[in-house]
Amino acid sequence: MSKGKMVCSTHNVTEDMLVEIVLNDIRHHASLTKEERTQVAEALLEKRGQEEREASDRVSRKLREVAKRLDSIGTIFKKLYEDRCTSVIEDDMFREMMENYTVEKAELQKRHEEVFIKFERSKETERDITVWLALVAQHVEIWIND
């Protein structure tokens, strides 16, 4: 049998209470000294955690892998063309291989672009924190207009 109301009182949070809590937090961060803001920035970056740094490292490695494969496909294209010109391979085989490598190259280029965008976003977090602290510092006194 549930005890419900007998054990737990009703909780009530009004909009005014929430506004006051948020404004107090903004005022607190806005009133920090430059040194304290640096410490807050470092703490926020630390909260970003090892997981995000590892993810950023993985993305960076992936960028290098994709770039390396794109370079090797360029070399393969040249070799295929030379082999075709010297009749080492037949036309049908040449076309099929070129088609396959062309498709792979297009997919890799697309993936390289997507991975690069992720890499850039991960670097934006630091800038976002710095910008946030500067914005908060501009608003030391915030009052609500009723």
| 9 in a structural domain | no
| 61 in a structural domain | yes
Task: Find all residues with CB under 8 Å of 97, minimum gap 6, and list them.
Answer: 80, 89
| 118 in a structural domain | yes
- Binned at pLDDT 50, 70 and 90, residue 51 comes out as low
Cα 114–Cα 120–Cα 126 angle in degrees, nearest 5: 150
Domain interval for residue 56: 16-137
Q: What is the mean pLDDT of the chain?
A: 80
CA torsion sign, 72 to 85 to 96 to 93?
negative
Q: Name which residue leads in pLDDT, 32 or 13.
A: 13
| 96 in a structural domain | yes
- Tell me the backbone φ, ψ of residue 139, rounded to 5 degrees: -120, 55
Domain total for the chain?
A: 1
Tell me what pLDDT residue 49 has.
63
| 88 in a structural domain | yes
pLDDT tens string 76-128: 999 999 999 998 999 999 999 999 999 999 999 999 998 888 777 776 776 77
| 38 in a structural domain | yes
Tell me what pLDDT residue 83 has.
92
| 142 in a structural domain | no
| 69 in a structural domain | yes
pLDDT tens string 58-71: 888 888 999 999 99
Tell me what pLDDT residue 146 has.
43
Measure the CA–CA gap between 124 and 45, rounded to whole angstroms: 11
Question: Average pLDDT of 35-55?
Answer: 73
Tell me what pLDDT residue 117 has.
85
Residue 72 has pLDDT above 80, yes or no: yes
